[in-house]
């Protein structure tokens, strides 16, 4: 599509709109922490519009999702695993192929070559159902892909 035909970027959210999204996320987080047995803790960075949602996993003991409110999007990410030390190409291929099965998230290489699950959504989509989807997907994808990826990338060490 030619650049002139592309959709215009959405305007940044106003201060009052951002405050409403913060209240939505705060209320959702409070409810989840009180009622969802998988949630170990929810914390909010007082200096940033950022929340940390920690869940109890089985394959991966703790799964943390960071929700960061921007002026146009809600960015979410979860540290998945450290950079593989064995069979790096096989591990990256496994996770890139896994991306085809994911909805609303993708595996990505981040700082120090560590692997993350990341995604973002427009602010207009932020509601309780989408926050549930984000945390539920992060949990499900971490549980499903963590052990195989660690076995490929850390075979000798992880199998012990």
| pTM of the predicted model as reported, rounded to 2 decimal places | 0.88
pLDDT digits (tens, 9 = 90+) for 133-149: 999 999 999 999 999 99
| Token couple for 78 | 């979860």
Task: Tell me which fold the domain 11-155 belongs to.
Answer: Yope Regulator; Chain: A, (3.30.1460)
CA 158 – CA 85 distance, rounded (Å): 11
Secondary structure element (H or E) that encloses residue 89, with its range: helix 88-99
Domain boundaries, the chain: 11-155
pLDDT digits (tens, 9 = 90+) for 27-80: 999 999 999 999 999 999 888 899 999 999 999 999 999 999 999 999 999 999
Residue 47: HSE in the Cβ half-sphere, 13 Å Cα cutoff: 0
């Amino acid at each position: 599509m030619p650049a002139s035909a592309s959709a215009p970027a959405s305007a940044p959210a106003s201060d009052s709109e951002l405050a409403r999204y913060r209240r939505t996320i705060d209320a959702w987080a409070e409810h989840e922490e009180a009622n969802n047995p998988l949630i170990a803790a929810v914390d909010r960075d007082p200096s940033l519009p950022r929340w940390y949602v920690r869940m109890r996993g089985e394959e991966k003991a703790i799964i943390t999702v960071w929700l960061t409110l921007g002026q146009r999007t809600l960015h979410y990410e979860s540290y998945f695993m450290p950079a593989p030390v064995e069979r790096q190409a096989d591990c990256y291929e496994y996770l890139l192929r896994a991306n085809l099965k994911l909805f609303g998230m993708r595996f990505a290489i981040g700082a120090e070559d560590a692997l993350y699950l990341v995604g973002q959504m427009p602010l207009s989509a932020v509601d309780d159902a989408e926050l549930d989807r984000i945390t539920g997907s992060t949990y499900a994808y971490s549980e499903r892909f963590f052990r195989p990826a660690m076995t490929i990338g850390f075979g000798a060490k992880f199998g012990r």
